[in-house]
Amino acid sequence: MTNEAAAHEPSLENLLHENRSFPPSAEFAAQANGTPDLYADARADRLAFWSRQATELVSWRKPFTEVLDWSQAPVARWFADGTLNACWNAVDRHVVAGHGDRVAIHFEGEPGDTRTLTYADLQREVSRAANALAALGVHTGDRVVIYLPMIPEAVIAMLACARLGAPHSLVFGGFSADALRSRIDDAGARLVITADGGYRRGAATALKPAVDDALAPRDGVESTVEHVLVVRRTGQETAMAEHRDVWWHEATEVADVQHEPVWVEAEHPLFILYTSGTTGKPKGILHTTGGYLTQAAYTHRYVFDLKPETDVYWCTADVGWVTGHTYVTYGPLVNGATQVMYEGTPDTPHQGRWWEIVEKYKVSILYTAPTAIRTCMKWGSEVPAKFDLSSLRVLGSVGEPINPEAWMWYRRVIGGDRCPVVDTWWQTETGAIMISPLPGVTHAKPGSAQVPLPGIVADVIDDEGKPVPDGGGGYLVLTEPWPAMLRGIWGDLERFKDTYWSRFPDIYFAGDGAKKDEDGDVWLLGRVDDVMNVSGHRLSTTEIESALVSHDAVAEAAVVGALDETTGQAVVAFVILRGEAAAALEATGGDQDAIVAQLRDHVGKQIGPIAKPKRILVVPELPKTRSGKIMRRLLRDVAENRAVGDATTLADASVMALISTGLNKPK
């Protein structure tokens, strides 16, 4: 295509049109933390706005005088001459303010064991843990790797590191010994905190052997780790290496319950979190203290309308992901919230487990991922209907674009048609929520993250870097620095610049496709790597998937572009049917022709002929990463009849075999 032609081609087609809109109820708006003024304030003076958030929501040892230093762009410095401690902000200051008796964490183990930790309990536990870490030689600036199940010690360990100014790096408990070792090596970690095991799907699963394996010399090279602290969770047989391994309970039992936090500068590293992109080695995303805490607390307060005295908040994410960092550990605790923490899987021992937990703790704010919502849709509305969900008042979604039908289901079945749904767009790199409706203010649209939060500046631009008009599609970018932005990739400044700042000069490129609708609201359209080109039209996978999910028979869909001789790429869809439709298909002996024809027609009607999948395959499962994102790359391999590529980051390695077997089944 010539440059001239390219200038007239839309960067991404705008396919779906959504007309439903849900204004906030007068009752909700009257009590909401968010107000239209917040947008006006931020627009009037953005830096003054952030300065106010940092002062009101975070406690400083030494107040800052400078808000933003962007002279070393793209590495920002926020509130740089202030000092503070993240753990003090999350724990001690609430006790000092007289809220020591407030529950910080209601823990629910998968086997049904429970623990309640008040803010005063947390203060004792984090102080003990910080003293224990210091006794094992952890100093300010040392890196600590945390490899734990979803148990309170995970949060306590993170906070104990923060208390010492020792950056933590969490590695999700589902990752292998190799993944663990490469992260330990990259961060040069001095200590690992792990557990004997955890409970998942009704069984005790060992964790410690993976640590032993990870720390064994590789090609004769020792790891940098000196000690391993081991939490006893399951009580299973656990080998302990002499001089290296120490039981958490023994180390903390003898530790003092007083600990003076280390006051660090605002730009002191708080954590490194590795993201495994589609290519290259994982990137160690670096976050620092003051700006990160400010945006974590601000977004948690306004996006979820948090009332710390009365709300019970529950974010279902694992602490091993960024969502667990910002919306299990730092955001809620800095805001003094009461939260639920659940160890296990949503269907252990039954498919209503989550809803049973909502009923039991009277959860009022729920934050989860589209993949979980679609799974619950597949299980059927009867499951949540058995529980009392009337305590809920705000629902959040994160991790992937949420299909409008999944959004509607979430609102209707879980939220009883009364709770605002907030679709929150952000990334490990952004540190905290960037684009989201504000409950009580925004007229919500199913499937759209809608507007940058007050203080955040985002846009959708075309190939040439020009903002697209309303109704147009292109690339999502962030055009002004924000407090919780990543400060780099650990040890690799060049890669940081290359990855995020080189596609469009001086603008942060998020890697996501997006469009603006007629009102200027933002719709996320998936990773740009997944965009398809069909007969010269750039189509997003998201909109075709949403069209498929809007059919009664479909619970989940994944769309990929497969090489095609005539159209360049052809749309190939993989769908999972809902309970009833799956049973009906079974009854016909698995003959997919009828349902496939219906679904193709449906997409044709919803979007137009261009988007009609050339092939639709009914499958029992979809390949997902451990954080629940669909791995379209592997489906492209199947659609193009190639051997399936590297599937090591799949949550369930057997899924690809299931899909391929399903395809080969004789008709």
Minimum distance of ligand WTA from residue 227's CB (angstroms): 30
Rule CB under 6 A: choose which of 383, 398, 444, 617 binds ligand WTA: 398
* Residue 527 sits in the site that holds ligand WTA (CB under 6 A): yes
Amino acid at 46: R
Q: Binding segment for ligand WTA among 52-60, 205-213, 399-407, 549-557 (CB under 6 A)?
A: 399-407
**Encoded tokens for 217:** 């010399």
- For position 548 contacting ligand WTA by CB under 6 A, the verdict is no
- Specify the residue, 37 or 529, whose C-beta has the smaller distance to ligand WTA: 529
Amino acid at 601: D
- Residues 401, 439, 452, 561: which binds ligand WTA (CB under 6 A)? 401
Kindly write out the interface string for residues 574-613 of this chain, putting x where it contacts ligand WTA by CB under 6 A and - elsewhere. ----------------------------------------
Question: By CB under 6 A, is residue 543 in contact with ligand WTA?
Answer: no
Region of 103-111, 119-127, 396-404, 613-621 interacting with ligand WTA (CB under 6 A): 396-404
Candidates 388, 342, 347, 335; CA nearest to 367 is: 342
Q: How far is the C-alpha of 423 from the C-alpha of 434, rounded, in Å? A: 11
Would you count residue 427 as binding ligand WTA (CB under 6 A)?
yes
User: Which one of 524, 573, 611, 635 is in contact with ligand WTA (CB under 6 A)?
Assistant: 524
Exactly one of 55, 176, 236, 275 binds ligand WTA (CB under 6 A); that residue is: 275
**Minimum distance between the CB of residue 417 and ligand WTA, rounded to whole angstroms?**
21
Q: Report the alpha-carbon distance of residue 444 to residue 436 in Å, rounded.
A: 10
Q: Which of 400, 405, 459, 521 is in the footprint of ligand WTA by CB under 6 A?
A: 400
CB of 293 to ligand WTA, least distance (A): 17
Q: Is 316 an interacting residue with respect to ligand WTA (CB under 6 A)?
A: no
* Contact status: 512 vs ligand WTA (CB under 6 A): yes
For residue 33, what are its two tokens? 């933390």
User: Regarding beta strands 312-315 and 365-368, do their DSSP bridges make them parallel or antiparallel, or are they unpaired?
Assistant: parallel
Q: Which of 248, 407, 409, 426 binds ligand WTA (CB under 6 A)?
A: 426
Q: Kindly report the CA angle at 180 between 175 and 185, in degrees rounded to 5? A: 160
- The nearer residue to ligand WTA, 336 or 513, going by C-beta atoms, is 513
Confirm or reject binding of residue 631 to ligand WTA (CB under 6 A): no
For 212-216, which contacts have Cβ atoms below 8 Å and span 24 or more sequence positions? Answer: 212/239, 212/241, 213/177, 214/177, 214/178, 214/180, 214/181, 214/184, 215/181, 215/184, 215/244
Residues sharing a CB contact under 8 Å with residue 418, sequence separation 6 or more, in sequence order: 25, 393
Q: Note whether 83 binds ligand WTA by CB under 6 A.
A: no
User: For residues 43-62, which are near ligand WTA according to CB under 6 A?
Assistant: none
Residue of 524, 532, 514, 550 lying closest to 629 (CA atoms): 524
Q: Do 68 and 47 contact (CB within 8 A), yes or no?
A: yes
Q: How far apart are CA 138 and CA 130, in angstroms?
A: 9
Q: What are phi and psi of 105, to 5 degrees?
A: -135, 125
Asked if 330 touches ligand WTA (CB under 6 A), the answer is no
Q: What are phi and psi of 258, to 5 degrees?
A: -105, 140
Closest separation in Å from C-beta 402 to ligand WTA: 7
Beta strand pairing status for 421-423 and 394-397? parallel
Q: Can residue 541 be called a binding residue for ligand WTA (CB under 6 A)?
A: no
Alpha-carbon distances of 433 from 165, 330, 456, 472, rounded to whole Å: 24, 13, 10, 24
CB atoms within 10 A of CB 583: 10
- When the beta carbons of 51 and 627 are compared against ligand WTA, the nearer one is 627
Comparing CB distances to ligand WTA, the nearer of 462 and 512 is 512
To the nearest 10°, the Cα dihedral for 344, 347, 351, 356?
A: -10
Nearer to ligand WTA, 289 or 299 (CB): 299
Tell me: does residue 627 bind ligand WTA (CB under 6 A): yes
Alpha helices by DSSP H, listed for 110-207, are: 119-135, 152-164, 177-187
By CB atoms closer than 10 A (0-12, 13-18, 19+), residue 518 is: exposed
Distance CA 482, CA 79 (A): 12
Minimum distance between the CB of residue 627 and ligand WTA, rounded to whole angstroms?
5
Q: How far is the CB of 170 from ligand WTA (least distance, A)?
A: 13
Binding segment (CB under 6 A) for ligand WTA, from list 148-156, 207-215, 321-329, 575-583: 321-329
Beta carbon nearer to ligand WTA, 214 or 317: 317
Smallest gap, in angstroms, from Cβ of residue 401 to ligand WTA? 4
CB-wise, 524 or 532, nearer to ligand WTA? 524
DSSP secondary structure string for all residues of 25-84: PHHHHHH-S--HHHHHHHHH-HHHHHHHHHHHHS--SB--S--EE-TTTTS-EESTT-EE
Residues 404-423 interacting with ligand WTA (rule: CB under 6 A): 423
Window 133-192: residues binding ligand WTA (CB under 6 A): none
Distance between CA atoms of residues 318 and 170, nearest Å: 10
Q: How far is the CB of 459 from ligand WTA (least distance, A)?
A: 16
Q: Between residues 163 and 183, which has the closer beta carbon with respect to ligand WTA?
A: 183
Q: Measure the CA–CA gap between 378 and 374, rounded to whole angstroms.
A: 6
Identify the sign of the CA torsion 214, 329, 290, 94.
Answer: negative
Residue closer to ligand WTA (CB basis): 363 or 528: 528
The binder of ligand WTA chosen from 288, 403, 428, 569 (CB under 6 A)? 428
Q: Does 517 bind ligand WTA (CB under 6 A)?
A: no
322 belongs to the binding site for ligand WTA (CB under 6 A): yes
Q: Which residues bind ligand WTA (CB under 6 A)?
A: 275, 321-323, 398-401, 423-428, 449, 510-512, 524, 527, 627
